[in-house]
Amino acid sequence: MDYRDEVFMAVAEKLSFSKAAEELFISQPAVTKHVKELENKLNTALFDRKGNKIYLTQAGKLAYQHFKRIRELYGEMEFELGRLNDAHRGLLQIGASSTISQYVLPAVLAAFHQRYPQIKLDLFNGNSFEMERKLLNHEIDLALVENDSSQANIRYLDYVDDEIVVVAAANQLIARQKSLTVADLQEIPIVVREKGSGTLEVIQHRLARQQIDLERLNILIHLGSTEAIKNFLLNFDGLALVSEKAIEKELQLKQLVRIKVKDLSIQRKFRFAMRQGPEKNIPELFRNFLTSYNV
């Protein structure tokens, strides 16, 4: 791809000339110059400028979609050329829900990079629904999600098992409880993930199977990450519902304790999410690597 095309894509994705300049390590006037040259070449305006904000024109949106496909094709070409010399090359853009990106992927990504150092990795994280949106918008090549729901234009494959468990801080009175009932969860204060997260969706679905509305739980606060929940728990005499994979270190250090809840099991699958259609080579290589890696 021409460098002007790359600059245009950075501006289109950031909707900001200054942020694109920071990402590309060039000056803002240089960004403006490259975009202007591309507009002259294509003989069309690619951005509308309204006050301090910019927006893609209809032509800009069309150009961006085509450039994304071109970038994918370049990645495929680099991969195929690298495979001829047993030196896989290219770019892989991965999206992962917060729990997976923080507690599952780091070690796997390091191992993958060691095996395939010529493949550049970009990891984006957010909740599962945000990652699915990025996937459908061709902003990432592959997503790993933790929600229950499925979208029609996405193909899902199971990755690993997970369980959402009830925990408390070891230094709080509630930690002395050996077991609880589902009814207790409607009385004891609870902290959970933010609305829209895959973890909260799974909790809601499992409770619904027992005819319990999520809103009936005594939810004190919704927090935007599991790390925030764990830190909150240290000064909170209540409970949290979190992924078992997120608390392994805290359980070993005896900072948190797991509390059993009678007749409540919240099992789930972390899943690969891919666009419908043929799978690209590098995402497939990465997916196969993850499947064989012992998490």
pLDDT tens digit string along 3-51? 899 899 999 988 999 999 988 889 999 999 999 999 999 999 999 988 8
Q: What is the rounded average pLDDT for all residues in the chain? A: 90
Query: Is the pLDDT at 183 greater than 70, yes or no?
Result: yes
Q: Tell me: the pLDDT tens digits for 246-271?
A: 999 999 999 999 999 998 889 999 99
Q: Which whole number is the average pLDDT over 231-244?
A: 93
How far apart, in whole angstroms, are the C-alpha atoms of residue 152 and residue 58?
A: 26
Percent of the chain at pLDDT exceeding 70: 97
3-state helix vs strand vs coil in the chain, percent to 5: 45, 25, 25
- Which residues 6+ apart lie within 8 Å of 133 measured at CB? none
210: pLDDT confidence band, cut at 50, 70 and 90? confident
The whole-number pLDDT of residue 243 equals: 94
> Which alpha helices (H) appear in 85-159, and where do they start and end?
98-103, 105-115, 128-136
Domains defined for the chain, CATH in brackets: 1-66 (1.10.10.10), 163-267 (3.40.190.10)
> In angstroms, what is the C-alpha Rg of the chain?
23
Are the C-beta atoms of residues 1 and 71 closer than 8 Å to each other?
yes
Give the span between the Cα atoms of 9 and 48, in whole angstroms: 15
- pTM of the predicted structure, to 2 decimals: 0.68
Q: pLDDT per residue over 161-170, tens digit each?
A: 999 999 999 9
pLDDT in tens, 270-293: 999 999 888 888 898 899 899 888
Please write the tens of the pLDDT for every residue from 42-96: 999 999 988 888 999 999 999 999 998 888 787 777 767 766 666 677 889 999 9
Average pLDDT over residues 137-157: 91
* SS3 assignment, position 93: strand
Token pair of 94 as six digits: 């991965």
User: What pLDDT score was predicted for residue 68?
Assistant: 84
